[in-house]
Amino acid sequence: MLDDFFIRALLAGVGLALTTGPLGCLVVWRRMAYFGDTMAHSALLGVALSLLLEANLLISVFAVAVAVSLLLLLLQRVHALSADSLLGILSHSTLAIGLVLVAFMSWVRIDLMGYLFGDILAVSWLDIGLIWGGGIFVLLSLVFLWRPLIASTVSHELAEAEGLKPERARLCFMLLMALVIAIAMKIVGIMLITALLIIPAATARQFAGSPERMAVLASLFGAVSVVLGLFGSLYQDTPSGPSIVVAALCLFVVSLLPRPGQPTSRDPISGGSR
Amino acid sequence: MLAEPGTADRILVTMSNAGIRRQGRWLVRGIDLTLRIGEIVTLIGPNGAGKSTTAKLAIGVLKPDEGQVTRGAALRVGYVPQKLAVDRTMPLTVERLMNLTGPLDAQKLAASLEAVSIPHLMKAEVQHLSGGEFQRALLARAIARDPDLLVLDEPVQGVDFAGETALYQLIGEIRDKTGCGILMISHDLHVVMAATDTVVCLNGHVCCRGTPAAVSQSEDYRRLFGASRPGIAFYNHQHDHTHLPDGRVQHRDGSITDHCHPEDGHHHDGHDHHHSHEHRRSHSHDHDHVHLPGLTGERHA
């Protein structure tokens, strides 16, 4: 018989994984892995500010993630540095500022490890409601934005020329990313959120023939990773967030193995782009 | 290019004095251009002349920093961009690419792929296509949308020579059949000329415009291409005779004959080039006469 806390963890993790699947595919296709990482790292600054201002944690993390992504867009317009370098600067400086602020606030005791690596076993029913509610909202938004997002991933100019308003879709996509990061922080932690976005998507690529199929498969692989990871952590007494990521990695490695009937030339992950 | 009375309803896009500036530099400036239903306009010009920029201004991908660009309400654009890279992590078949910006009925999809001669590639992943096949798929996608305006930025790049001629012919046929306007960018005036109504020669501004025949004869045009594009063969050499539109030949001394002569020094027996039948854009040998545009082929040789 499974404990109540374990059921809650499963529900929370699976709900999150179903949401991060399609979102993670977009991150992979648009080569925004580092961008996602940057937004996730800025979450610690959000945590620190929420403590400092006694604001709602979720809203604070969401707001900081949005602010950082807008700041990045602004800096990119200036063209002084490459997007890569700007991401590096924003990613680590927001994380560092967050850590410094937390250290200054000697009057609060916070579980830093919980924020960095997640504490899925401590989720409440309220958290689960938030995860599933937020997740359904994110997925419905993606369905609505799917065509412009896919089209602008292939070519921004093409989407713009043919009237799909890709800029608006991109802004919405960033807001959804910020929302998912705010929700996911408690489950897998700031350091591991992007793993849950990218690894199931990379696994799904090996089996998918269309973007839509890849999005669905990424959700499924993510959910399987959560279940495997949580049971693994239960029986081996390992930290739950990292265990989920390790399970996702195992699935990815298995997906790389040659399968019967698979054309050998098909190796989309390791190759360059056309 | 001023609108004649009664043609206002046929206008798709009007650009007046449009310019765009980036980092203090004008990419293009003072562009006046009108695109009409059923008209093929081809932009030519050296590298960096602002051909793609002008096309993007016309369809609203870029906003003008100066002047105005007006488009008809609900203008349906079909666009083939110059560069397009699909990340290998995205599984995308030709069929899915066709539906990229809007759903398409299956019949239309198949017919468009048939028109560009790649019906067998419908289920192929776009990452596995050759450059020429991919270009055909992009063209098929654009025409399948039934656009009012087709914008083709070097639509035949990477396509083999025989296919190139066929695709240009197809572009002409699409115009004839659907009556859409076409804005095309090409660096290869030789092949596009037959179908093009108006050629606009760009170099940051409009240098000259007119029928292909008129433009290729204009001083501005020769100066621009003669100086900067030796790769385009037929401007930067000594002419000793000119092929007239009616097929006769005008020699440097002004005399006119029905044919050019062996002593004119080109494409007769013993020469190793063969441009009397094929004009490759890569050829750069000196031949010493002008091939007049508007003719479907040379009348001699």
In a domain? residue A274: no
- Give the best residue of A157, A160, A207, A270 to mutate against chain B (max B CB count within 10 A): A157
Contacts B97 to A, Cβ<8 Å: 154
Domain count, chain A: 1
pLDDT at B293: 42
Query: Could B100 and A205 be called an inter-chain contact, meaning their C-beta atoms sit closer than 8 Å?
Result: no
Contacts B88 to A, Cβ<8 Å: 268-269, 271-274
In a domain? residue B234: no
Query: Could B86 and A272 be called an inter-chain contact, meaning their C-beta atoms sit closer than 8 Å?
Result: no
Query: Could A154 and B90 be called an inter-chain contact, meaning their C-beta atoms sit closer than 8 Å?
Result: yes
- Distance, in Å, from the CA atom of B36 to the CA atom of B41, rounded to the nearest integer, reads 9
B194 with B246, same domain: the answer is no
Query: Could A161 and B97 be called an inter-chain contact, meaning their C-beta atoms sit closer than 8 Å?
Result: no
**pLDDT of A156 over the 70 cut:** yes
Query: Could A157 and B93 be called an inter-chain contact, meaning their C-beta atoms sit closer than 8 Å?
Result: no
B57 with B90, same domain: the answer is no
Last residue within a domain, chosen from B167, B199, B229 = B229
B38 with B95, same domain: the answer is no
Q: Which of A26-40, B236-250, B254-268 has the highest mean pLDDT?
A: A26-40
Contacts B102 to A, Cβ<8 Å: 147, 162
pLDDT for A179-204, tens place per residue? 999 998 888 888 889 999 999 999 99
Contacts of B18 (CB under 8 A, 6+ apart): B28, B30, B31, B32, B33, B57, B64, B66, B67, B68, B69
Residue among B89, B96, B145 minimizing CB distance to A205? B89
Contacts B139 to A, Cβ<8 Å: none
**pLDDT of A268 over the 70 cut:** no
Contacts A164 to B, Cβ<8 Å: 101
Residue B6 belongs to domain with CATH number: 3.40.50.300
Distance from CA of B300 to the nearest CA of A (A): 44
Which structural domain, as residue segments, surrounds residue B289?
Answer: 239-301
In a domain? residue B98: yes
Share of chain B above pLDDT 70, in %: 69
In a domain? residue B280: yes
Residue of A nearest to B52 (CA): A157
B72 with B156, same domain: the answer is yes
Map residue B112 onto helix, strand or coil.
helix
Query: Could B88 and A209 be called an inter-chain contact, meaning their C-beta atoms sit closer than 8 Å?
Result: no
- Distance, in Å, from the CA atom of A101 to the CA atom of A96, rounded to the nearest integer, reads 9
Beta bridge partners of B272: none
Domain count, chain B: 3
Query: Could A151 and B101 be called an inter-chain contact, meaning their C-beta atoms sit closer than 8 Å?
Result: yes
Q: 63-92 in B: which are within 8 Å (CB) of A?
A: 77-79, 81, 84-92
Q: How far is CA A151 from the centre of its chain?
A: 22
Distance from CA of A105 to the nearest CA of B (A): 44
Residue A172 belongs to domain with CATH number: 1.10.3470.10
pLDDT for B105-117, tens place per residue? 999 999 999 999 9
Whether the CB-CB separation of B40 and B26 falls below 8 Å is answered with: no
pLDDT at B193: 66
pTM of the model: 0.80
B135 with B222, same domain: the answer is no
Confidence of residue B281 (pLDDT cuts 50, 70, 90): very low
In a domain? residue B222: yes
Which structural domain, as residue segments, surrounds residue A186?
Answer: 4-256
Question: Looking at beta carbons, which pairs linking B168-171 to residues 24 or more positions away fall under 8 Å?
Answer: B168/B192, B168/B194, B168/B195, B169/B195, B170/B115, B170/B116, B170/B139, B171/B40, B171/B195
Distance from CA of B44 to the nearest CA of A (A): 21
In a domain? residue B256: yes
B202 with B163, same domain: the answer is yes
In a domain? residue B41: yes
Q: How far apart are the first and last CA of chain A?
A: 52
Looking at every residue in chain A, the average pLDDT score rounds to: 89
Query: Could A158 and B78 be called an inter-chain contact, meaning their C-beta atoms sit closer than 8 Å?
Result: no
pLDDT for B26-51, tens place per residue? 999 999 999 999 999 999 888 888 99
Query: Could A157 and B61 be called an inter-chain contact, meaning their C-beta atoms sit closer than 8 Å?
Result: yes
B163 with B137, same domain: the answer is no
B61 with B182, same domain: the answer is yes
Tokens of A167: 């800029």
B69 with B17, same domain: the answer is yes
pLDDT at A50: 92
pLDDT at A227: 96
Least confident of A139-153, B247-261, B273-287: B273-287
Last residue within a domain, chosen from B229, B264, B292 = B229
pLDDT for A19-53, tens place per residue? 999 999 999 999 988 999 999 999 999 999 999 99
Distance from CA of A151 to the nearest CA of B (A): 6
- Distance, in Å, from the CA atom of B157 to the CA atom of B192, rounded to the nearest integer, reads 13
For tokens 């029928």, the residue is B211
pLDDT at B192: 65
Last residue within a domain, chosen from B188, B211, B229 = B229
In a domain? residue A267: no
Contacts A31 to B, Cβ<8 Å: 87
Residue of A nearest to B90 (CA): A29
Query: Could B101 and A213 be called an inter-chain contact, meaning their C-beta atoms sit closer than 8 Å?
Result: no
Note the helical H segments in A79-165: 83-104, 112-117, 125-154, 156-161
Question: Are β-strands B77-80 and B241-243 bridged in parallel, bridged antiparallel, or unpaired?
Answer: unpaired
**pLDDT of B283 over the 50 cut:** no
B215 with B71, same domain: the answer is yes
pLDDT for B211-238, tens place per residue? 888 887 778 777 777 644 433 333 333 3
Share of chain A above pLDDT 90, in %: 65
Q: Is B76 exposed, middle or buried (0-12, 13-18, 19+ CB in 10 A)?
A: middle
Contacts of A185 (CB under 8 A, 6+ apart): A40, A43, A47, A61, A115, A118, A193
pLDDT greater at residue B249 or residue B98: B98
ipTM score here? 0.83
| B96 touches A: beta carbon within 8 Å | yes
Contacts A28 to B, Cβ<8 Å: 87, 89
B131 with B266, same domain: the answer is no
